[in-house]
């Protein structure tokens, strides 16, 4: 499979709650609500993790970082991404690119997207030109539109 290209998709959804930080792509975004989760709840990084693991046929985020493990409570999603990068490297894969979208009604994320790209590139040890991070809303539809949740989608391309 030398030179083989593989595509993976990832999705993550979490509720938003008071008194938790809003961490996206390793960047803390000022907000009245943050992400509820066993780890830091970073839906962007979680979607990327699932996409990377799926592309390499290595399971999913729950396989490697189950919420049933007390020692993983509060873990940084950037530490999780570093572990996934090690797994990919061990299997002979390298990242080609990531395209990700955050779905959130508020706060507006446009000013924070460049920092997210830089932080993800630093964690994944790649050029930030390999990473696209976008944000959109649901135009006030559903639980995300009501300000009660957040989601992220990611598609990755890896090669061996």
Residue 129, judged by CB atoms within 10 A of its CB (0-12, 13-18, 19+), counts as exposed
Q: Look up the pTM and report it.
A: 0.95
Confidence (pLDDT) at 1: 47
Confidence (pLDDT) at 2: 57
**What does the pLDDT profile of the chain (160 residues) look like in tens digits?**
456 999 999 999 999 999 999 999 999 999 999 999 989 999 999 999 999 999 999 999 999 998 889 888 889 999 999 999 999 999 999 999 999 999 999 999 999 999 999 999 999 999 999 999 999 999 999 999 999 999 999 999 999 9
CATH superfamily, domain at 5-159: 2-C-methyl-D-erythritol 2,4-cyclodiphosphate synthase (3.30.1330.50)
The residue to which tokens 């780890």 are assigned = 39
Q: Where are the domains of the chain?
A: 5-159
The residue to which tokens 């000022």 are assigned = 30
């Amino acid at each position: 499979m030398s030179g083989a290209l593989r595509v993976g998709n990832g999705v993550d959804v979490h509720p938003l709650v008071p008194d938790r930080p809003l961490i996206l792509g390793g960047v803390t975004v000022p907000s009245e609500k943050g992400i509820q989760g066993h780890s830091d709840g970073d839906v962007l990084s979680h979607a990327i993790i699932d996409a990377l693991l799926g592309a390499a046929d290595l399971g999913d985020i729950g396989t490697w970082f189950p919420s049933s493990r007390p020692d993983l409570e509060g873990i940084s999603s950037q530490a999780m991404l570093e572990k996934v990068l090690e797994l990919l490297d061990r299997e002979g894969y390298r990242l080609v690119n990531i395209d990700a979208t955050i779905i959130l009604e508020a706060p507006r994320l446009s000013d924070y997207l460049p920092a997210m790209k830089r932080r993800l590139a630093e964690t994944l040890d790649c050029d930030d030109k390999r990473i696209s991070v976008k944000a959109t809303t649901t135009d006030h539809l559903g639980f995300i539109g009501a300000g009660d949740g957040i989601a992220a989608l990611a598609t990755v391309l890896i090669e061996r």
